[in-house]
């Protein structure tokens, strides 16, 4: 016998904010898709979609990311839950947002399902008016990334397997949008004892 609920239930979606670093120009980028369907057809947005009944939100996030962008096998960290009643013009939709750090060169983009296109955009030059409340979701994800850099070593996923301390410093400077003292930065990073010196120049 099925149980019936006395109250209507909001729909559930997932959204995935992926940050990647363009090592050539030290530019931090975010992955966006161009919507192929209404609402907001033609607008750029964060990859995501509806959770299928019987599917966990984690599985839904990985599936939607793979279907809409071709990106797979990345570690997704749950970011925040967005549930404003008017965030989706169709109905009351609650979204569980995730974020991840990836090496751009390791993932070939391939838009599919309800995505017309998938592309990397500089965090300093995003398309205007992202669909839904995705500008807010992006802002929360970027703030989380900046805060995490202060208390734990993150960001290595954005770099090649072998990288210089200068590249690592540029990564931190790009994310924090400020210059860092070279000597203090290297002393702090090397003091963590998490890097391996390859003896290469």
Pick the closest to residue 27 from 161, 141, 122 (CA basis). Answer: 122
Domain span at residue 44 reads: 11-159
For residue 180, being part of any structural domain is answered with no
Q: What is the CATH number of the domain that holds 134?
A: 3.90.79.10
For residue 125, being part of any structural domain is answered with yes
The pLDDT tens digits of the residues spanning 42-71 come to: 999 999 999 999 999 999 999 999 999 999
Alpha helices for the chain (secondary structure H): 57-69, 134-151, 165-176, 182-191
Split into its structural domains, the chain has a count of 1
For residue 176, being part of any structural domain is answered with no
For residue 24, being part of any structural domain is answered with yes
The pLDDT tens digits of the residues spanning 25-34 come to: 889 999 999 9
Entry pTM:
0.90
- Write out the two tokens for 92: 């009351």
Pick the closest to residue 35 from 121, 109, 114 (CA basis). Answer: 114
For residue 169, being part of any structural domain is answered with no
What radius of gyration do the chain's Cα atoms show?
Answer: 19
The pLDDT tens digits of the residues spanning 132-187 come to: 999 999 999 999 999 998 888 788 888 888 899 999 999 999 999 999 999 999 99
For residue 131, being part of any structural domain is answered with yes
For residue 194, being part of any structural domain is answered with no
For residue 123, being part of any structural domain is answered with yes
Q: What is the rounded distance in angstroms from the CA atom of residue 62 to the CA atom of residue 14?
A: 9
């Amino acid at each position: 016998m099925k149980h019936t609920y006395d109250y209507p239930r909001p729909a559930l979606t997932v959204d995935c904010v992926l940050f990647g670093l363009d090592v050539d120009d030290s530019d931090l980028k975010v992955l966006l898709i161009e919507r192929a369907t209404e609402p907001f057809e033609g607008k750029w947005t964060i990859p995501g979609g509806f959770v299928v009944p019987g599917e966990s939100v984690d599985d839904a996030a990985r599936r939607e990311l793979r279907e809409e962008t071709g990106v797979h096998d990345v570690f997704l960290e749950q970011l925040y839950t967005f549930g404003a009643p008017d965030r989706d013009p169709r109905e009351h939709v609650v979204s569980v947002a995730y974020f991840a750090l990836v090496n751009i060169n390791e993932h070939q983009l391939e838009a599919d399902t309800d995505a017309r296109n998938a592309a990397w955009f500089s965090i300093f030059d995003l398309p205007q008016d992202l669909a839904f409340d995705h500008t807010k979701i992006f802002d929360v994800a970027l703030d989380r990334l900046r805060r995490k850099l202060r208390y734990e070593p993150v960001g290595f996923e954005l770099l090649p397997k072998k990288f210089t301390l200068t590249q690592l410093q540029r990564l931190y400077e790009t994310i924090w949008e400020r210059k860092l003292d070279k000597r203090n930065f290297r002393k702090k990073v090397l003091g963590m004892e998490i890097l391996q010196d390859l003896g290469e120049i």
